[in-house]
Structure 1
Amino acid sequence: MTAKKFFFGLLGLSLVGVALLFFIQQEKERDGHWPWPLNGRVINQSPFKVKVWDDQNGFYTIAAGERSSNRKDVDHAQEPTSQRWCKIGARTLIVNPDGSFANCPCYALGAGRACIRF
């Protein structure tokens, strides 16, 4: 591969990346929500239902052993064991079989609230 082909290939990939970023940002500005795959998701591996919240659909639950839909953006989830609210962001949250969260990035004082930072 010549340096010229490498350069133009890298330039082409960069342009595709910028176009994709622009498309995603436009989608967010249109309705105020990040589109899939940048939305929050929940995989519930516990026997408990998990209460979740998003600013578009409000409160709803993810049944035991189920996962959230790609069509809904989960913003916060309530840990079944402690009742604490986890702010998910653009991540996938795993609910352990005992009802605790495996990978909560940060906890909030309630649904729709910002993370608590100490």
Structure 2
Amino acid sequence: MSVSRTDAATVLKTILTTFNSYVCPGHPSPDADDLDVICDGTCMWTTAQKFGQAKTWAEIDATPTLYDHTQGEVSKGNWSIAWEGNAPDEWVFSEKLTENVRETTGGRVFIEPINTCILGVYPR
């Protein structure tokens, strides 16, 4: 069993929305009627979804980066997501992130810290 690229991308987007204040410069959300509503982090989606080697060092620092099994310490069919630069301390241990990933993937995906800056993405 493996995790689809679509589900891996969903986990990546969930990281952006869970830790929006770390990836977004703080502008109001363009979709909000109330301009005091801060962006949900998806303003950085175009940068975040670039596959690992396609990102510049600045982009790697600014957003989490998705890697297939050839880059991370995961087996074939699984993914890893690395984020060091602007990341919150120990973001991979966030219970809120775990809860949000379970919700956004319909329970199909399990995440697990590999270390303090790399998250493993596995099928449930």
Fold match, TM over 0.5? no
| Larger RCO, structures 1/2 (Cα 8 Å, 6+ apart) | 2
Task: Report the TM-score, using the length of structure 2 for normalisation.
Answer: 0.24
Q: Which of the two has higher C-alpha Rg?
A: 1
Task: Report the TM-score, using the length of structure 1 for normalisation.
Answer: 0.25
Larger helix percent: 2
